[in-house]
Homo-oligomer: A and B are copies of this chain.
Amino acid sequence: MAGNTYGESFKITTFGESHGEAVGVIVDGVTPGVELDEKYIQTQMDRRKPGQSSVTSPRKEYDVISILSGMFEGKTTGTPLFIMLHNKDMRPDAYSDIQYSFRPGHADYTYLQKYGIRDHRGSGRASGRETAGRVAGGAVARKLLEAKGISVVAYTTEIGGIKCETFVEESIEQNAVRACDPEAAVKMIEKIERLAEIGDSCGGIVECRIRGVQPGIGEPVFDKLDAELAKAMLSIGAVKGIEFGAGFAAAGMLGSEHNDEMNKEGFLSNFAGGIIGGISTGEEIVFRIAVKPTSSISLPQHTVDIHGNEKMIETIGRHDPCICPRIIPVVEAMACIVVEDLLKRQAAMHA
Contacts and interface: CB of A to CB of B under 8 A. Distances in A.
27 contacts: A1-B29, A1-B30, A1-B220, A2-B7, A2-B8, A2-B29, A6-B222, A15-B69, A16-B80, A21-B69, A79-B124, A79-B220, A80-B125, A105-B258, A105-B276, A113-B215, A227-B231, A237-B278, A240-B273, A241-B242, A250-B292, A251-B291, A253-B293, A256-B301, A264-B304, A347-B347, A348-B348
B69 A22 contact: yes
Interface majority SS (helix, strand, loop, mixed), chain A: mixed
Nearest to A105: B259
Contacts of A248: 205, 240-241, 243, 248, 290
* Residue of A117, A228, A251, A347 with most chain B CB atoms under a 10 A cut-off: A251
A2 B9 contact: yes
A38 interface: no
Interface string A103-124: 0111101110111110101011
Given A2-B219, A8-B2, A69 B304 contact: no
Nearest to A162: B252
Interface residues of A, number: 153
B222 A227 contact: no
A282 interface: yes
